[in-house]
Amino acid sequence: MRKINFSAGPSTLPVSILKQAQEELFDYQKQGFSIMEISHRTKIFEEVHFSAMNGAKKLYGLGDDYEVLFIQGGASLQFAMVPMNLANNGVCEYANTGIWTKKALKEASILNINHNIVASSENENFSYIPEIKFSDNADYAYICSNNTIYGTQYKNLPQTKAPLIIDASSDFFSKKLDFKNIGLLYGGVQKNAGISGLACVIIRKDMIKRCKNKNIPSMLKYSTYSENQSLFNTPPTFAIYMFNLEMKWLLSMGGLDKINKINEEKAKMLYDCIDESNGFYKGHARKDSRSLMNVSFNIPENKDLEAIFVKEAEYNNMIGLKGHRLLGGIRASIYNALTLQDVKTLCEFMKEFAKKA
């Protein structure tokens, strides 16, 4: 029996994708071998590879001015690749909204990049998205669109003339975005769009050309991936295969507007459950900053109940609800592959648990 999986990442996958992968694992499309067993230089793999890239572009409605790159090293490598490739002797500006932006800032420091924090919500334990004013002439303006641990998310992207760089790891492919100011959007795909081992980088082509730094090793340069269509070396072929299935699944669901509608419904149901609990449950994020993807909450009256909640939930077939070690409490990640029914089951459990306590 499959569990209802609220893990923050890697996370639950659509059942239809798992079944297709299972079916094709031993014998890919009657070829007599698995997709994992063939060269990335074959036509068969290339079809998967380019279909995955095209699917990503189609979902976000992107034209020829953007390119999709597949890079290993997770989202974490992008913390360094972004400043290495895109700092341009000016200043790079960051909004600090949690651990993942702090980690990005750390890499900019290690690289001795001239950077500023122009807004932060650290004063209130990252429970909100701050007001941000980026300088128009910054080399880039960096944000994390969804803060996986604290459960906050931008409702609108900040307006700026500087190219926006977005770590979208935990709300990747969950809703349409206005790409007008976006220079680069990236994420590890293991939360909302596949499995670990692959980061997807969507980059505006002029950003690749802007890079002035000549001392970047090949594997750390965006231009290397661009010039070789992300086939410079052996890519993570199985992760790309799974990402392709996920793109096809999202398209078959009706695209990002449709999935966003379902995500909104799921999140509303869960936040209503928290808000209507007479204070038994308390959400971490300020209401105007609440994430549709990660819902972090506590049982403020009696913290000991939180561990019992997680245990009892497991007993009831629901896993992955323990909060991140930095914040504690409970966290339900309700990414694309979680269904309305899954969230309904959680809410029923929460109501029952509060009644019994």
Which residues of the chain form contacts with ligand PMP (CB under 6 A)? 9, 74-76, 100, 144, 148, 167, 169-170, 188
**Buried/exposed 263-272: b ≥16 CB within 10 Å, e otherwise:** beebbeebbe
Q: Which residue type, as a one-letter code, is found at position 165? A: I
**How many Cβ atoms are within 10 Å of 28's Cβ, its own excluded?**
20
Cβ distance to ligand PMP smaller for residue 58 or 103: 103
The widest CA-to-CA distance across the chain, in whole angstroms, is: 64
Please identify, using beta-carbon distances, which residue of 144 and 242 lies nearer to ligand PMP: 144
Identify the active-site residue in 139, 171, 191, 322. Answer: 191
249 included as an active-site residue:
no
The residue annotated as part of the active site, out of 100, 139, 171, 342, is 100
Please say which residue, 144 or 305, places its beta carbon nearer to ligand PMP.
144
Nearest approach in angstroms of CB 337 to ligand PMP is 16
Q: Of 78 and 237, which CB lies nearer to ligand PMP in the complex structure?
A: 78
Residue 119: HSE in the Cβ half-sphere, 13 Å Cα cutoff: 16
**Active site (annotated) includes residue 257:** no
Residue closer to ligand PMP by CB (options 145, 160) is: 145
Query: Residue 53 carries which side chain, given as an amino acid letter?
Result: M
Residue 111 Cβ vs ligand PMP, minimum distance, rounded to whole Å: 17
**Residue 74 or 255 with smaller CB distance to ligand PMP:** 74
**Smallest separation, CB 234 to ligand PMP (Å):** 19
User: Closer to ligand PMP at the Cβ: 295 or 350?
Assistant: 295
In the complex, the smallest distance separating the C-beta of residue 195 from ligand PMP, rounded to whole angstroms, is: 11
The span from the CA of 214 to the CA of 221, in Å, is 10
Give the residue among 318, 271, 319, 320 at the shortest CA–CA distance from 291: 271
Q: How far is the CB of 43 from ligand PMP (least distance, A)?
A: 30
Question: Distances in Å between the alpha carbon of 121 and those of 10, 74, 112, 125, 286?
Answer: 26, 25, 24, 7, 11
Residue whose entry in the numeric block shows the structure tokens 């209507």 = 276
Q: Where is 125: in which H helix or E strand?
A: none
> Catalytic residue at 167?
yes
In the complex, the smallest distance separating the C-beta of residue 74 from ligand PMP, rounded to whole angstroms, is 3
What Å distances lie between residue 35 and 87, 231, 239, 241, 279, CA to CA? 38, 16, 11, 8, 51
State the sign of the Cα–Cα–Cα–Cα dihedral 338, 344, 347, 353: negative
Cβ contact 216:172 at 8 Å: no
* N- to C-terminal Cα separation, the chain: 28
Q: Could you tell me the two tokens for 353?
A: 């648990």
Torsional sign, CA 153, 157, 161, 163? positive
Please report how close the Cβ of residue 305 comes to ligand PMP at its closest, in angstroms: 26
Write out the catalytic residue numbers.
Answer: 100, 167, 191
